[in-house]
Chains A and B, each alone.
Chain A
Amino acid sequence: MSNEHSWALSMHQIESCSCSHGCGCQFAGFPTSVNGGCDAILGWQVIKGHFNELDLSGLKAVFVAMWPKAMHDGEGKGALFIDRAASEEQVTALATIFSGQAGGMPVEAIATLFSEFEGPIISDIAMDPQDHTSTVSIAGILETGQAPHINPVTGEENKVHITFPEGGFMWNDGFAGKTTTLKVEHGNLAFNYSDTFAAKAIVNWPT
């Protein structure tokens, strides 16, 4: 890809969505969820990143989205939460990047898929990125937790990976598991699931 971009982010991405295991959106473009839509929470913790000269390392953000159909059919509702630890400048930088305003994939493509979007909402984000047992929460608003798949025969953990050797939509290699909780209660963004698709990956954007 080109290096014309003013930003770069290497982040932990904690991804929980309403799809059944092996989220269809990753492979076939269409959700494998109960209602045919896509409801998701993405938790991001920046490992290393910048916007122009501004360092963004260590910052946390959460992205909530509800699409009535497949993501690429658009018409989604979404919100962006940014952790209180970010300075005003850093909030602006993250909001600019995640809303696609600074260009770069995949954010620029994702930004086209919303009809309503709220944010950035400054809040206290608790986040623990682990291979299979990540958690993300904002008190009173949202919560998601992940667990590994369990082999039904032996009862041992199934260490599942999803790998895209040629580059995936958002990441190239992720741990896949299931959600223990996945719920949001924020205005008209509201859903509640468990035992759905969960992934944890390191994303390096722009792709």
Chain B
Amino acid sequence: MSWYYMLYGMTMNMEPVATWSSADIALLFMMWAIMMAGMMLPSALPVILLIDKLNQQRQQRGASYTPTIFFSLGYLIAWAIYSVFITIIQTWLHHLELLSPMMDSANLQFSAIILIIAGIYQFTPFKQNCLQLCRSPLALISGDWQEGIKSAISLGLKHGSYCVGCCWFLMAILFVTGVMNLQWILILTLVVLVEKVVPKGEVVSKYLGALLIMLGLSYLF
């Protein structure tokens, strides 16, 4: 569904930011939230399926269970919260005229800085910790699983927050390429998926970091 929206429904106000109304900003937030859902759900799918399997087991033996949708909802809430911040940041970048009305970078140095920071971020212990947590769902399920809608949402929120911690700066790359650049949306979706579900994902994440740094530097020289 998110992808359907991104392919066919994404239209934004391309007027200079000074003329933006709060409705435009709300639309921008919606766009980010839907985009993040579309980009992150593929990599969250294995965990969601695992939770669903658990629920099927509980159902079979007649135990109470909380529909898996609530876990997914919690996961999406984490990204929605992120979308609020990134929307505010984007508005501010428009004001600074670092972003063009077309929502891509209007400034080479700015592009370079984003890419280099995104690259460096891949190597930070914080990023690697989050990646490890987001790659090993069993520990979370085993340690934090509780019955009830509230617990299911908070479990999803917790798992989602690891993923936000992992990928929040990667998403900022969209400021360089254009927030609605589908090609890059797809590339980043795949990158996130690979980092999360491939056995040596943490190695991939470092290669990616190096690549981003080099790309950023190439903008400068």
Segment of A24-32, A144-152, A177-185 engaged in the interface with chain B = A24-32
Q: How far is the CB of B135 from chain A (nearest CB, A)?
A: 5
Q: Which residues of A contact B63 (CB under 8 A)?
A: 103
Supposing A109-B145, A112-B53 touch, asked if A72 and B138 sit within 8 A by C-beta, the answer is yes
Indicate whether B88 reaches chain A with its CB closer than 8 angstroms.
no
| Interface residue tally on A, bucketed by range | 20 to 34
Q: How far is the CA of A70 from the CA of B47 in the complex (A)?
A: 13
Indicate whether A119 reaches chain B with its CB closer than 8 angstroms.
no
Supposing A29-B136, A73-B46 touch, asked if A109 and B141 sit within 8 A by C-beta, the answer is yes
Indicate whether B146 reaches chain A with its CB closer than 8 angstroms.
yes
CB < 8 Å neighbour of A108 from B54, B136, B139, B200: B54
Q: How far is the CB of B113 from chain A (nearest CB, A)?
A: 31
**Chain A residues touching B, majority SS:** loop
Q: How far is the CA of A170 from the CA of B50 in the complex (A)?
A: 17
CB < 8 Å neighbour of B145 from A69, A74, A105, A166: A105
When A and B form their complex, what is the total count of cross-chain residue pairs whose Cβ atoms lie within 8 Å? 74
Q: How far is the CA of A31 from the CA of B138 in the complex (A)?
A: 13
Q: Which residues of A contact B146 (CB under 8 A)?
A: 1-2
Contact A2 B147 (CB under 8 A): yes
Indicate whether B195 reaches chain A with its CB closer than 8 angstroms.
no
Supposing A103-B58, A108-B54 touch, asked if A169 and B199 sit within 8 A by C-beta, the answer is no
Indicate whether B142 reaches chain A with its CB closer than 8 angstroms.
yes
Residue of B nearest to A101 (CB): B61
Q: Which residues of A contact B9 (CB under 8 A)?
A: none
Q: Which residues of A contact B46 (CB under 8 A)?
A: 72-73
CB < 8 Å neighbour of B138 from A29, A103, A166, A167: A29
Contact B135 A29 (CB under 8 A): yes
Contact B143 A169 (CB under 8 A): yes
Q: Which residues of B contact A31 (CB under 8 A)?
A: 199
Contact B57 A28 (CB under 8 A): no
Indicate whether A207 reaches chain B with its CB closer than 8 angstroms.
yes
The 8 A CB mask of A91-105 against B (1 = contact, 0 = none) is 000000000110101
Residue of B nearest to A96 (CB): B61
Q: Which residues of B contact A166 (CB under 8 A)?
A: 143
Contact A28 B202 (CB under 8 A): yes
Contact B136 A27 (CB under 8 A): yes
CB < 8 Å neighbour of A105 from B47, B53, B137, B143: B143
Q: Which residues of B contact A105 (CB under 8 A)?
A: 141-143, 145
Indicate whether B13 reaches chain A with its CB closer than 8 angstroms.
no
Q: Which residues of B contact A167 (CB under 8 A)?
A: 143
CB < 8 Å neighbour of A30 from B54, B135, B145: B135
Q: Restricting to A17-66, which residues have a CB under 8 Å from any CB of B?
A: 25, 27-31, 36
Contact A168 B147 (CB under 8 A): no
Q: Which residues of A contact B47 (CB under 8 A)?
A: 72
Contact B58 A29 (CB under 8 A): no
Q: How far is the CA of A111 from the CA of B50 in the complex (A)?
A: 11
Q: How far is the CA of A207 from the CA of B146 in the complex (A)?
A: 11
Indicate whether B91 reaches chain A with its CB closer than 8 angstroms.
no
Residue of A nearest to B199 (CB): A30
Q: How far is the CA of A60 from the CA of B67 in the complex (A)?
A: 36
Q: Which residues of A contact B50 (CB under 8 A)?
A: 72, 74, 109, 112
Q: Which residues of A contact B61 (CB under 8 A)?
A: 101
Contact A207 B137 (CB under 8 A): no
Q: How far is the CB of A22 from chain B (nearest CB, A)?
A: 13
CB < 8 Å neighbour of A29 from B54, B132, B147: B132
Indicate whether A71 reaches chain B with its CB closer than 8 angstroms.
yes
Instruction: For the complex of A and B, list the 3 residue pairs with the smallest distance between their C-beta atoms, beginning with the closest.
Output: A29-B136, A106-B142, A112-B53
Enumerate chain A interface residues (CB-CB to B < 8 A): 1-2, 4, 25, 27-31, 36, 69-74, 100-101, 103, 105-106, 108-109, 111-112, 166-170, 207
Enumerate chain B interface residues (CB-CB to A < 8 A): 46-47, 50, 53-54, 57-58, 61, 63, 132, 135-139, 141-143, 145-147, 199-202
